[in-house]
Amino acid sequence: MIATLRTVFMGTLFASLAAGCGSSVVLDPPTIPKPLMTTIPLSVGLRMPENFESFVHEEEVLGREQWTIDLGRSNAVFFAQLFGYMFETVTVVSEADDPSIMPFDALIEPSIDEFEFSVPNQTKTNDFAVWIRYRIKVYDRDGKLVVNWPVSAYGKSQTTVMGGKDALQRAAILAMRDAAALMIIKFDEPTLISSISSDPTSTAVPVEEGGEATAQATTLGGDNDE
């Protein structure tokens, strides 16, 4: 009887440990300093899909540890701040709103194509790393899609600097800042969006699929940890 009870107890204990073997990371909305740039004199609408505003990534690492990374509203708040710096006027609209009846020069819709991360056990280093592939769509005054721009971003942080959850959170924030840096520096090249302000009849030229680019977060004062 004692042996049976011990077996049952140990089985319950290991099951409890296995069930608790996981980590959950929730991002608070990060901020970026106001960049030194000339504001684009456009009034734009910013439409963020529901899964962009409440993005959650779940993954089992190496078959034994479950990670949940909840970006929550961090993307929505972050991109609203970013485009608020970049354009003269930014109005956040919902998916239910009809932008064709609103006085916008253009409508911007960001989304997430992919989210990946690595932990030290995978890479045999002290690094947590995050890769985010955003997609930026720009619509003209008539609601026509004129730009479909993939943007890849990367962030890295070390466990020697902070704990695992905090390190992964920082890596995600650095990846978001990386994407912001690219858009601040390069946004007008693939989108030609500033031409709308000088010629009301012009529209941007769509970029081809795969026209992907990356930037360094250092331009926003957020270095990846070395």
pLDDT, mean over the chain: 77
Give me the sheet containing 55-61, strands edge to edge.
22-26, 65-72, 55-61
9 falls within a domain: no
Mean per-residue pLDDT, 217-223: 39
Task: Tell me what pLDDT residue 38 has.
Answer: 86
Q: Look at residue 161 in the predicted model and tell me its pLDDT.
A: 53
Residue-level pLDDT at 20: 41
Q: What is the CATH number of the domain that holds 64?
A: 3.30.160.150
The reply to whether 200 falls in a domain is yes
Residue 16 lies in a domain: no
State mean pLDDT over 22-47: 87
Instruction: Give per-residue pLDDT as tens, 62-84.
Output: 767 889 999 878 999 999 999 99
Per-residue pLDDT at 3 exceeds 80 = no
Cβ count within 10 A of residue 107:
22
34 within some domain = yes
The predicted-structure confidence for 141-160, as pLDDT tens digits, reads as follows: 888 888 899 999 999 998 76
Give the total number of structural domains in the chain.
1
Best CA proximity match to 116, nearest among 153, 148, 149: 153
4 part of a folded domain? no
CA atoms of 28 and 198, how far apart (whole Å):
38
Query: What's this model's pTM, rounded to 2 decimal places?
Result: 0.76
The answer to whether position 17 is within a domain reads no
**Is 56 a member of any domain?**
yes
Domain carrying residue 175: 22-220
pLDDT at residue number 163: 63
